[in-house]
């Protein structure tokens, strides 16, 4: 912290002044982090005093420079920056401007960022967390465990109720394990459903819950050098795949929503989450899932617009339940849907405004299946490949 304060004073980062009239104060907070290299080894520990910039408004609290036809995007995490754009001149100008104001190092083409390894070739970009995965295996004494070929055994059902003779496990250790696995889902959507299931038992975890969580580690052991591949493409059409089980949670009979979005043929966003309400049929659970998927589609469309990739056509969302499609497209089904919370009818408005379009897909081709239930290996392997998860090329 003393080092950070010294750097702030040296760089003349702030100036003590009175608050001008009609101006708002932007608060600050301390952020602590461990700086690691590409192998996951700690290089140094750092403390950074950062502004709460998320309270500022675009074009109101800060100036935005625009140049016709050119753009530069900068991603900032404390004092780590990555940037991209379509103008090498803007790259050079930005780096020179930053170097004039701050002490900084140009690390070249991105290869490691926030625990995520990036390997770039002419055809693909491979994103993985191999170093982090090995750290997790070592932390929980699973480096020499026997690998398995799926993160969750087909047919697994977990409950809050303890089985006969079953003991509780240390909740702190269990939470640490699940939290570590949660971060790994950034580049491993293939473990997302399994991690989501064990996340439901943070309070009073039992031996069966721990065994299920450690099975995920055994799967990671056998696929530790896997990541997600992004291929070069000029196709920037956004499309989503959505699915739901029905009453899969044996404690409260709530269903699980799963969806994934692709930009062209590359998966960019995925989710697996228990629904907040109890539905009365598979049609209703799929309808609720489609609505959640639609909300995410709208958010992605707005993000892409900011990135100069505005979607001109409606975003296609693929589901396999025709009854749910009819319910979303035909608001006259009042008796069948009046008990569903009005917020879930948001999807109808988006369809009417031609922001999204529901399309039917055969169950066997539905990649979102991997986010709603434990699958047999053949099905799991097929959907994993469709997500772009594969062995990272060295």
Same domain, 297 and 357: yes
Q: Look at residue 120 and tell me if it is in a domain.
A: no
Domain extent at residue 161: 128-222
Phi and psi, residue 121, nearest 5°: -125, 180
Contact of 238 with 210, CB cutoff 8 Å: no
How does strand 238-244 pair with strand 226-231? unpaired
Residue 217 Ramachandran class (φ > 0 left, ψ -120 to 50 alpha, else beta): alpha
Cβ neighbors of 93 (< 8 A, separation 6 or more) are: none
- Identify which has the larger pLDDT, 318 or 47: 318
The stretch 314-318 carries a mean pLDDT of 97
Q: How many domains does the chain have?
A: 3
The stretch 208-213 carries a mean pLDDT of 97
* pLDDT given for residue 362 in this prediction: 83
Per DSSP, the residues of 2-18 read: HHHHHHHHHTT-----P
Q: 138-170, pLDDT tens digit by residue?
A: 999 999 999 999 999 999 999 999 888 889 999
Check which CATH number belongs to the domain holding 351 and give it.
Answer: 3.30.420.10
Q: 274-286, pLDDT tens digit by residue?
A: 999 999 999 999 9
CA distance linking residue 301 with residue 312, whole number of Å: 10
* pLDDT given for residue 57 in this prediction: 62
Q: Look at residue 292 and tell me if it is in a domain.
A: yes
CA distance linking residue 127 with residue 229, whole number of Å: 6
Same domain, 133 and 205: yes
Most confident region among 8-17, 151-160, 225-234 by mean pLDDT: 151-160
Same domain, 95 and 162: no
Q: Look at residue 307 and tell me if it is in a domain.
A: yes
Same domain, 269 and 333: yes
Token reading at 346: 């948001």
* pLDDT given for residue 176 in this prediction: 96
Average pLDDT over the chain, rounded to whole?
88
Which of the listed residues 183, 202, 222 is the one where a domain comes to its end? 222
Would you tell me how many other CB atoms lie within 10 Å of the CB of residue 213?
26
User: What pLDDT band is residue 344 in, cutting at 50, 70 and 90?
Assistant: confident
Same domain, 266 and 339: yes
Q: 175-189, pLDDT tens digit by residue?
A: 999 999 999 999 999
Same domain, 237 and 318: yes
Same domain, 216 and 238: no
Same domain, 357 and 239: yes
Q: Look at residue 394 and tell me if it is in a domain.
A: no
Q: Look at residue 389 and tell me if it is in a domain.
A: no
CA distance linking residue 234 with residue 247, whole number of Å: 40
Say which DSSP state 379 is in.
Answer: H
Same domain, 50 and 78: yes
Alpha carbon 196 to its chain centroid, in Å, reads 12
- Identify which has the larger pLDDT, 24 or 392: 392
CA distance linking residue 205 with residue 215, whole number of Å: 15
Same domain, 76 and 140: no
User: What pLDDT band is residue 329 in, cutting at 50, 70 and 90?
Assistant: confident
User: Cα angle at 168 between 165 and 171, to 5 degrees?
Assistant: 170
Q: 346-386, pLDDT tens digit by residue?
A: 898 999 999 999 999 887 678 999 999 999 999 999 999 99
Q: 41-96, pLDDT tens digit by residue?
A: 677 788 887 777 665 565 555 556 667 778 888 888 878 888 888 888 888 998 99
Provide the terminal-to-terminal Cα distance of the chain, rounded to the nearest Å.
Answer: 39
Q: Look at residue 121 and tell me if it is in a domain.
A: no
**Dihedral angle of Cα 388, 389, 391, 392, to the nearest 10 degrees:** 70
* pLDDT given for residue 220 in this prediction: 98
Q: Look at residue 375 and tell me if it is in a domain.
A: no
Which of 30-39, 58-67, 312-321, 362-371 is predicted least confidently?
58-67
H-helix or E-strand spanning residue 30: strand 28-36
Q: Look at residue 118 and tell me if it is in a domain.
A: no
257 by Cβ neighbours in 10 Å (0-12 / 13-18 / 19+) ranks as buried
User: Does residue 99 surpass a pLDDT of 60?
Assistant: yes
User: Does residue 337 surpass a pLDDT of 80?
Assistant: no
Same domain, 237 and 357: yes
Same domain, 188 and 269: no
CA distance linking residue 89 with residue 67, whole number of Å: 12
């Amino acid at each position: 912290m003393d080092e950070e304060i010294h750097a702030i004073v040296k760089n003349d980062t702030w100036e003590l002044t009175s608050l001008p009239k009609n101006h708002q104060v932007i608060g600050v907070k301390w952020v602590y982090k461990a700086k690691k290299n590409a192998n996951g080894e700690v290089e140094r520990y750092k403390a950074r005093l950062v502004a709460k910039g998320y309270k500022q408004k675009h074009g109101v609290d800060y100036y935005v420079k625009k140049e016709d036809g050119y753009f530069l995007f900068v991603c900032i995490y404390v004092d780590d920056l990555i940037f991209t754009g379509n103008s090498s001149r803007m790259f050079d100008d930005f780096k020179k401007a930053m170097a004039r104001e701050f002490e900084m190092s140009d690390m070249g083409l991105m290869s490691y960022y926030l625990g995520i390894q990036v390997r770039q070739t002419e055809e693909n970009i491979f994103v993985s967390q191999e170093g982090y995965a090995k750290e997790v295996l070592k932390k929980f004494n699973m480096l020499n465990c026997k690998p398995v070929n799926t993160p969750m055994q087909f047919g697994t059902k977990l409950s809050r109720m303890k089985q006969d003779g079953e003991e509780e496990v240390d909740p702190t250790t269990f939470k640490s394990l699940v939290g570590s696995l949660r971060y790994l889902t950034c580049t491993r959507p293939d473990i997302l459903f399994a991690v989501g299931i064990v996340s439901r038992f943070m309070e009073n975890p039992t031996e069966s819950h721990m065994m299920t969580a450690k099975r995920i580690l055994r799967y990671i052991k056998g696929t530790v050098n896997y990541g997600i591949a992004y291929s070069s493409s000029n196709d920037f059409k956004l499309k989503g795949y959505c699915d739901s089980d029905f009453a899969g949670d044996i404690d409260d009979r709530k269903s699980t929503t799963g969806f994934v979005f692709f930009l062209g043929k590359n998966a960019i966003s995925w989710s697996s989450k228990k629904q907040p309400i109890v539905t009365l049929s598979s049609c209703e659970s799929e309808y609720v899932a489609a609505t959640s998927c639609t909300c995410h589609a709208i958010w992605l469309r707005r993000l892409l617009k900011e990135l100069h990739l505005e979607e001109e056509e409606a975003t296609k969302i693929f589901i396999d339940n025709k009854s749910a499609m009819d319910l979303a497209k035909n608001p006259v089904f009042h008796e069948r849907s009046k008990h569903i919370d009005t917020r879930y009818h948001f999807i109808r408005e988006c369809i009417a405004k031609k922001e999204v379009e529901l399309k039917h897909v055969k169950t066997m081709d539905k990649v979102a299946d991997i986010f709603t239930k434990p699958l047999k290996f053949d099905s799991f392997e097929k959907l994993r490949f469709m997500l772009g998860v594969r062995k990272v090329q060295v």
